[in-house]
Amino acid sequence: MARTDRLVTLINLLRDGALHRAQDLASGLGVSVRTVYRDMDRLLAAGVPIQGTPGTGYRMADTIALPPLHLSPAELDVLQLGIAIVSEAADPALSAAAQTLTQKIDMALPAETVAEADAWKTALTPLANAARGLSHMVSLRSAIAGRQKLRLSYRDTAEQTRQDTIRPLKLESWGRVWLLTAWSETGSAFRDFRVDLIETATPLPELFADEPGKRLSDRV
């Protein structure tokens, strides 16, 4: 049997979900146990979801194999935001699956250094309470990308409603809280706003440009 045909046969044998010993597979295929070990290594290298090690047996993992995907930055953001919402589900199984999916996506993403000019835009970590601030995400992200000033109405920790004109610089999450880092025009200082406490975020017609002391890189 040619190697390619043998590999396909192995996949079909393992699809039943049962544990198969290498000795039994070798006997059925008419090859050596060492050949089965090498074939398993080839299948694993090809991304076939096989579980097991020499001496313990092999089975097909209960996973879904997807072909290579090419996502646009916007599509990746949608995926991450969706995972963030699911991670807040009351079902612990769904929440755990969201976090493991996050790790798999992070492992699959290409490693590259973010250009300094783009570093201010966004930093999304899908482990925060996305549901509460979801209604503001689009306007906040658009304002960051377009360098557009915003007029915020937000509740402080004393439940008092306040107003602030800001230059939005970065959107990120820490633990379960989404934060918007901005330069406050009202207070003339950098501020972090909890997104779940923002009541309204109104875009202003005024844009902003980089100014020394007001850039994200200037924050100490």
Give the DSSP letter of residue 159.
Answer: S
Please report the pLDDT score of residue 73 as a whole number: 74
Digit-coded pLDDT (tens) for 116-152: 555 555 555 444 455 556 778 888 988 998 999 999 9
> Whole-angstrom Cα distance, residue 28 to residue 11?
14
User: At residue 177, does pLDDT exceed 70?
Assistant: no
Q: What is the mean pLDDT of the chain?
A: 81
- Please give the backbone phi and psi of residue 208, each rounded to the nearest 5 degrees, phi first: -130, 150
> Whole-angstrom Cα distance, residue 131 to residue 121?
21
Say which amino acid occupies 40.
M
167-202 exposure pattern, b = at least 16 Cβ within 10 A, e = fewer: bbbbbbbeeebbbbbbbbbeeeebeebbbbbbeebe
70-106 exposure pattern, b = at least 16 Cβ within 10 A, e = fewer: eeeeeeeeebbbebbebbbeeeeeeeeebeebbeeee
Give every CB contact of residue 206 below 8 A, 6+ residues apart in sequence: 148, 149
* Max CA pair span of the chain: 79
Give yes or no for a contact between 99 and 148, defined as CB atoms under 8 angstroms apart: no
Q: Please, where are the H alpha helices in 70-207?
A: 73-86, 92-108, 130-146
Please report the pLDDT score of residue 128 as a whole number: 46
Question: Of 198, 192, 184, 195, which Cα lies nearest the Cα of 152?
Answer: 198
Digit-coded pLDDT (tens) for 94-121: 888 888 887 777 766 665 545 555 555 5
Digit-coded pLDDT (tens) for 17-37: 899 999 999 999 999 999 999
